[in-house]
Chains A and B, each alone.
Chain A
Amino acid sequence: MRSRVGFNGRHNRSNARHREIVDLSIDERLAERLTIEIPLTYVIALSNGQLQGRTMTINLSGTGVQFPIPWMVPKSIPCHLTLALPTRTEPLMLTGLVVWCRPGSNRNREAFEVGISLEDPSSGSEEAFAQYCHFVATQLLQRYLPCTQPRH
């Protein structure tokens, strides 16, 4: 996410030359995260083998997935995912790269959590990608529509 720096709008009169600079990033996130549990299987390619398992997502977005795993894994290694979207009869296969791995929060049984950046969801079939997009958009609308209805 690119940042822009600017002023926070509060003027410190006693210290005018030392203006506080805060991050006024434009919302340049490519995709919003949805906290949702979707069944997934993963295969992470390690140098000495592979780590695979079945779990539930912690959150997902159009460009990434977060889920719990039992071991720490290094960054920038490939990960293959199969997601069982509720709107689809066939599981959706995606590929990505590990972007981070950290100790898990207490909510998870696993020791660690991993963030996967999806390489190009459209690298699979167009129909599968479209269904993934529709799923994400539907979830976003269901989350926000009740509080963003127009006032006539």
Chain B
Amino acid sequence: MYPASPLTLLGRLQDSVPQFLRPVEFRVVHETEEFKAALRLAYDEYLKRGYTKPNPAQMKLSIYQALPSTTTFIATHRRAGIIGTMSLIVDSPLGLPMDEAYKSELDRLRGEGSRLAEATMLALNTDLFGGGVFTMFHAKKLLLTLRLFKVMFDYLRACTDVQELVACFNPKHQILYDFLQLKPLGGLKSYTSANGNPAVARHLNVAETQRQATTHVAYRLFYGKTPSPKMFSRKLVLSPEHLRELFVETLPLFASASPTELRHIQRCYPTYAFHHILRGTPASSSLYLP
């Protein structure tokens, strides 16, 4: 027997779209190894596009992922592993990544009393599809993308009180977000976090999508059965050891965080001994000592 590459199993021409999707599970990450694999996938795909600079960890990791309210979603194939990922970052005293370029626009929504969350780090394994495949024209890629959005959207509705979903992205993806009826939020800007690439910002009012669920074909997918929080009960919560491994030893994100940021993260984990997590770093002096 000469086993074919798992990726060719995914992409055989004769596979229909249902066959392609059947072995794929869409869910939150349950374990730290899955989390790291998702971060590596996002890093690899973003690096290919020039959206990130190389880093020694070879992961797309930021301080926001230390927050327990941040959630990472994956599309995981039974044999090929993680083939897609995206993250949802709920607004907090740390703000949102896109505050870097769109703070005034986000503050306007915040001023209206809206609870915000940013959809970010969408990445599909492009080895599945070859180069130059445009999502809107390719059923497998389109449905893989939308099913990832759906699990994120289910989580948003079942487990958060988020009212406005925000995102910023390279303008070349604008057609997809137009299709999903995200509304303009901020114009073209250079986005440092995307390696200086151009970005535009959009937002989506969650309640409004429900009103459109019968008329918009993608929203019909998003508004199938009412999601239950039980679907997300195994969502990963990082242990103290993994917080240290990722945010101290892998990348010095805690060391470069502001005291305010660090104290907020500490408050999110009231039972964790942060002096152990931060031992040996200058950041340990920023800790809140009750």
Contacts and interface: CB of A to CB of B under 8 A. Distances in A.
Contacts of B147: 148, 150
Interface of B: 1-5, 7-8, 10-13, 15, 17-18, 21, 26, 127-130, 132-134, 136-140, 142-143, 146-147, 150-151, 174-175, 178-179, 217-218, 220-221, 224-225, 227-228, 231
A61 B133 CA distance: 12
Question: What interface size band does chain A fall in?
Answer: 35 or more
Given A32-B137, A134-B175, A150-B26, 6 more contacts: A9-B2, A29-B13, A133-B137, A140-B142, A141-B221, A152-B228
B11 A145 contact: no
A26 B128 contact: yes
A38 to B, nearest CB: 16
A19 to B, nearest CB: 7
A150 to B, nearest CB: 7
Given A26-B129, A148-B21, A149-B224, A32 B11 contact: no
13 contacts: A2-B130, A24-B4, A27-B11, A28-B133, A30-B134, A31-B138, A32-B139, A62-B138, A130-B175, A133-B136, A136-B136, A149-B224, A150-B151
A144 B139 contact: yes
A148 B17 CA distance: 8
A120 to B, nearest CB: 12
Interface in A122-152: 129-130, 133-134, 136-138, 140-145, 147-150, 152
The 6 A-B residue pairs whose C-beta atoms are closest, nearest first, are A62-B137, A28-B130, A31-B137, A7-B2, A26-B11, A27-B11
Contacts of B217: 138, 141-142, 145
Contact of A11 (B1, B18, B136): B1
A61 B137 CA distance: 7
Interface of A: 2, 4, 6-9, 11, 19, 24-32, 61-63, 129-130, 133-134, 136-138, 140-145, 147-150, 152
B8 to A, nearest CB: 5
B137 A30 contact: yes
B140 A27 contact: yes
Nearest to B220: A145
A134 B137 CA distance: 9
B230 to A, nearest CB: 10
Nearest to B1: A11
Nearest to A26: B11
A147 B143 CA distance: 11
Contact of B150 (A11, A25, A29, A150): A150
A104 B106 CA distance: 57
A9 B5 CA distance: 10
B136 A24 contact: no
Contacts of A144: 17-18, 139, 143
Nearest to B3: A9
A19 B130 contact: no
Contacts of A11: 1-2
A82 B272 CA distance: 65
Contacts of A31: 134, 137-138
B6 to A, nearest CB: 11
Given A2-B130, A63-B137, A134 B178 contact: yes
Nearest to B7: A26
Contact of B130 (A26, A129, A141): A26
A32 B134 CA distance: 10
B137 A136 contact: yes
A29 to B, nearest CB: 7
Contacts of A150: 26, 147, 150-151, 224
